[in-house]
Structure 1
Amino acid sequence: MSLSAIRINPTDAVSSEPYTKLSSDNLDNGFVQPPPLRVRLICELVGTCLFIFFGAGCATKTDNLLTVSAAHALVTVWLVYVFGPVSGGHFNAGATIAFAFDGKMKIIEVFGYLIAQAAGALLSGALLLALYGTGTTLGTPGLQPKVTVMHGFAIEFLCTIVLSFVICFTTAYNKHKEAAFPIGLVVFSSFLLGADRDGAALNPWRWLGPAVASGTYHSEAWIYAVGPIGGFLVGYILFRLYKWSWNFNRNTQFLQV
């Protein structure tokens, strides 16, 4: 058995084609097969790069809360709309790890996605450095004065719980193109809440790309990895509990006389 055939959750039904062919009604658009892994990895690399480039780039230019929040929300909407039907539109290590726990990804896909996202983050940092030069943090998230590490962690953790739940909820009922707008609104709300407190990364790569390029490292940087990844996992668990409570009567029929 090849590595590409091994699934995270072996008890789940294995689908030979987890990604559908891109089509629009009866229109022949030239896409004759589901997107292969190489194409999905390119989408994750490019999508992660663009999310950080536009989001961190805007944060580099201004500290206006509304502007920075809108920039991250808008880029999220069109990235999920464009790349969501192809790669799932993760662009976030937390999202990929959560979907891995869901058993919807093969092991090689999980590692491939994480590597592609990391490469996209570093590429975005290089582009920001070329655009803005040295002498700036390039929009690297960081704690503001009087904001404690635990407060920053709470913002990252709680906001990504909500984001994770909304992603699971909307994609369970809708296509990615339909889910793009509510996901973008959650990003907008989260940045309004936390961008002026801890930078509101909500994504390990959102910190990594600008931090590496600008050489901005802090002892509290761990909150931008642990918070979002932990939040995505808890949000996924909450969605599974919600789904279980929805189907509770059906799941317990065997107990009824």
Structure 2
Amino acid sequence: MSLSTIRINPGDTSSLDHFPKLVVGGPENEFVQPAPLRVRLLCELIGTCLFIFFGAGCAAKGHDLLTVSLAHALVTVWLVYVFGPVSGGHFNAGATIAFAVNGKMKIVEIIGYLVSQAIGALIGGALLLALYGSDNTLGTPALSPGVTVWRGFLIEFICTTILSFVIFFTTSYNTQKEAAIPIGLVVFSSFLLGADRDGSALNPWRWLGPAVFSHTYKSEAWIYTVGPIGGFLLGYVLFRIYKAIWNWNADNQFHRM
């Protein structure tokens, strides 16, 4: 048995093949097979890099709340729209871990996605260093004066819980392209709420890439990893509860009484 066939959740009997497939082999394009893993990993690497480059890049220019929020929302929309049909458009360790718990990713995919995203985040941070120089924080999220660690954590945790629920909700009914706008709007709302409070990462890589190349390490930085990952997992749990409520009558032997 190879890693490429091992489920993260052996008890899930649903299909492993959950990634969207482009229409291939037709006269309108020259793609002769569904996207292989190497292509999906490349999309995750590029997508994460660009999310860091444009999102953190705009944050590095100043603290205009509307500009920073809009920048992250817009880059989310077009990245999900472009790469979503190929790789699923995660670009976020929290999203990948939540999909892994969902039981529809193979172990090799989980590891590959996380490694590709990390590399993309570091490349994005390096590009920002080249663009802004070493005397800039490169848009690294940080707590504003007067904002406690736990308040910062709650911003990350609550916003990513909502984001996770919306991602699972919208992609269960729609394609990634159709889900791109509502996902982007949640990102926009979340950054409007928290960008001037804790810097709003909503994504461990959004913190890591800029932090590594700006040497911005602080003791409270754990909130930008634990908060988003915990939020994505809770959002997934809430979505499963929602599905259970939806399907309750289908499994209830007394539903016809």
Classify the TM-score, shorter chain. Answer: over 0.9
Corresponding position of 1:112: 112
Deviation of residue 27 (structure 1)?
Answer: 5.1
Deviation of residue 17 (structure 1)?
Answer: 4.2
Cα distance change on mapping 1:6 and 1:254 into 2, 3 Å: farther
Q: How do 1:1-257 residues align onto structure 2 when only pairs under 5 Å count?
A: 1-13=1-13, 15=15, 17-23=17-23, 28-253=28-253
Identity of matched residues, %: 74
Deviation of residue 253 (structure 1)?
Answer: 2.1
Cα distance change on mapping 1:236 and 1:2 into 2, 3 Å: same
Deviations 1:91-149 (A, max 9, x none): 00000000000011000100100000000000000000001001110000000000000
Contact 2:20 2:88 in 1 (8 A): no
Find the aligned partners of 2:19 and 2:233 in 1 and give their Cα distance.
23
Find the aligned partners of 1:20 and 1:101 in 2 and give their Cα distance.
18
In structure 1, runs of 5+ residues without a counterpart are none
Cα distance change on mapping 1:212 and 1:32 into 2, 3 Å: same
Contact 1:21 1:32 in 2 (8 A): no
Find the aligned partners of 1:21 and 1:109 in 2 and give their Cα distance.
16
**What amino acid sits opposite 2:208 in the alignment?**
L
Find the aligned partners of 1:82 and 1:53 in 2 and give their Cα distance.
17
In structure 2, runs of 5+ residues without a counterpart are none
Cα distance change on mapping 1:165 and 1:249 into 2, 3 Å: same
TM-score (norm 2): 0.96
Deviation of residue 254 (structure 1)?
Answer: 7.2
**What amino acid sits opposite 1:143 in the alignment?**
L
Contact 2:17 2:104 in 1 (8 A): no
Contact 1:143 1:198 in 2 (8 A): yes
**What amino acid sits opposite 1:241 in the alignment?**
I
CA RMSD of aligned residues (A): 1.7
Contact 1:21 1:31 in 2 (8 A): no
Deviation of residue 13 (structure 1)?
Answer: 3.0
TM-score (norm 1): 0.96
Deviation of residue 228 (structure 1)?
Answer: 0.2
Deviation of residue 256 (structure 1)?
Answer: 7.6
Cα distance change on mapping 1:16 and 1:179 into 2, 3 Å: closer
Cα distance change on mapping 1:17 and 1:34 into 2, 3 Å: farther
Contact 2:249 2:255 in 1 (8 A): no
Find the aligned partners of 2:185 and 2:20 in 1 and give their Cα distance.
27
Deviation of residue 55 (structure 1)?
Answer: 0.3
**What amino acid sits opposite 2:181 in the alignment?**
F
Contact 2:143 2:149 in 1 (8 A): yes
Find the aligned partners of 1:241 and 1:38 in 2 and give their Cα distance.
34
Find the aligned partners of 1:127 and 1:96 in 2 and give their Cα distance.
24
Deviation of residue 250 (structure 1)?
Answer: 1.0
Find the aligned partners of 1:231 and 1:37 in 2 and give their Cα distance.
27
Deviation of residue 255 (structure 1)?
Answer: 8.7
Aligned pair count reads: 257
Find the aligned partners of 1:249 and 1:14 in 2 and give their Cα distance.
21
Contact 1:160 1:202 in 2 (8 A): yes
Find the aligned partners of 2:13 and 2:173 in 1 and give their Cα distance.
20
Find the aligned partners of 2:71 and 2:185 in 1 and give their Cα distance.
11
